[in-house]
Amino acid sequence: MQLKSLRITSTIIADQTTAEAEFLVRNAVGGWRPEAGNEMIISTTSDTVRHFAGNIIRVGERASNKVDLLYSVSAKDYTWLFDRRMVTTTYDSSSGAAIIADIVNNYTTGFTTGGIQNLGNIAQQRLDYVYPSDAIRSIADQQSAHWYIDFNKVVQYFSAISNIAPTTGINFDTNTADYGDLVLSEDASNVKNRIIVQGYQKASTVQFSRNFTGDGATRFFGLGYQPSGLAASQMTVTVDGVAQTLLYDTIDGSPGNSEGGANDMFVCFDNMGIRKSTGVAAPSSTVVVLFNYMLDGGVQVDDAAAQSEMASRSSGDGVHMFMVQDPSMTNLAANDDLALALGNALTTRYGQPSLEGQFKSYLQGWRAGQYLTGTSARRMGGFTQTFYVHRVDKSLVSHPSGGSPTWVHDVFISNSSLPY
């Protein structure tokens, strides 16, 4: 490996911290070469610290001379391996930590859950062929959390303000040891302080009644609306006054299937109806269906303090609207919990202009997802702000044989917990 070419980057992308590494390798023709998919670990022998671990994603080759080949290698952290399988299941309302642990234990191999914090309960989740990282990212978004897979394959999930930087705070006016070359900028291009969330569904608060007269031949009865669930509080079906046992209709080619007993009724969510098995008699008397149904949802979330701040900076009422169409906010309960969580998360992150900065640091241990307090009496009119580390570019300055290397870090920060 050509050590001077080594560059390790960690970045926050939608609540998740990821790491990548790039470097050059020179090998003789016919010798070993790096292969896409190989596991790769970068550590220092002097302190056994892992600076990167993951898998090679891309390898480029070119001739350096008649003897040697030069390989450019790009690697990604263990997220690539973590996402080999997809999640397809439904979770009842539970702690986000419990759901994440179940995803790790049942849909991944070789990863552990020792770094997952319990940040409280979240609403019911329906995951339909979703990569594990996307599922956890969705949960993190609801709980204003960050997460990443560390270099020992341990899933880390934590509150945005719990992962402290190598220094808890920097006074940008007086500190000359921990940072240098600070550049600050303020950005209002992406302010969002009134969020409209649409495009999802939720359960009705009242039940709809449908009555059918059986003719002894009809087995399928269309309801016109999708039921919200099969629990007794969500749906009941009787045939001539006899309560039916409700079952999910998950069988391909179900109209011709003979499974099910005389008092079983299959509920077809996609076709918005109920049916009797072909193995029993079709209803010849009154069929009564009482159910909560799915309807279009929509909420508006306002951040009054952010709107007031923007009004003081410009004309008008300070409102900056943003609309989200997000089917994943569908909730089988009769509330807008998921949509409200999304709206509040967006206003918290983007309600006011972001203050962003970039500096160099020789402190060790910088990583995206950390936070620190930044203070200045003269920069940007003066401020004391919580800053979040969005990105760190790490490269070698020196690498003495047998000793500890010296790393320099380009650190990118913002007072918004996610990239602006």
pLDDT tens digits, 198-222: 999 999 999 999 999 999 999 999 9
Does a structural domain hold residue 231? yes
Q: Are residues 336 and 358 in the same domain?
A: no
- pLDDT value, residue 403: 62
> Does 168 have pLDDT greater than 60?
yes
360 belongs to a structural domain: yes
**Are 344 and 362 within one domain?**
no
Residues 126 and 170 in one domain: no
Mean pLDDT throughout 363-375? 90
Examine the pLDDT at 372 and tell me if it is beyond 60. Answer: yes
217 lies in which domain range? 205-292
Whether pLDDT at 17 is above 90? no
390 falls within a domain: yes
pLDDT-derived band of residue 183, with 50, 70 and 90 as boundaries?
A: very high
Confidence of residue 375 (pLDDT cuts 50, 70, 90): very high
Closest-CA residue to 11 (of 392, 266, 321, 399): 392
Same-domain pairing of 198 and 300: yes
Domain presence at residue 269: yes
* pTM reported for the whole predicted model: 0.69
In a domain, 400, yes or no: yes
pLDDT of 256 reads: 45
Note whether 340 and 379 are same-domain residues: no
308 part of a folded domain: yes
pLDDT above 80 for 3:
no
pLDDT of residue 99: 95
Number of domains comprising the chain: 4
User: Does residue 250 surpass a pLDDT of 90?
Assistant: no
Q: Are residues 321 and 249 in the same domain?
A: no
Does residue 170 lie in a domain region? yes
- Statement to judge: residues 173 and 288 lie in one domain: no
CA-wise closest residue to 418 among 393, 394, 379, 391: 391
Q: Is the pLDDT of residue 91 over 70?
A: yes
What is the model's pLDDT at position 399? 66
Q: Are residues 390 and 332 in the same domain?
A: no
Q: Are residues 142 and 260 in the same domain?
A: no
Share of the chain above pLDDT 90, in %: 55
Evaluate if residue 94 carries a pLDDT over 50: yes
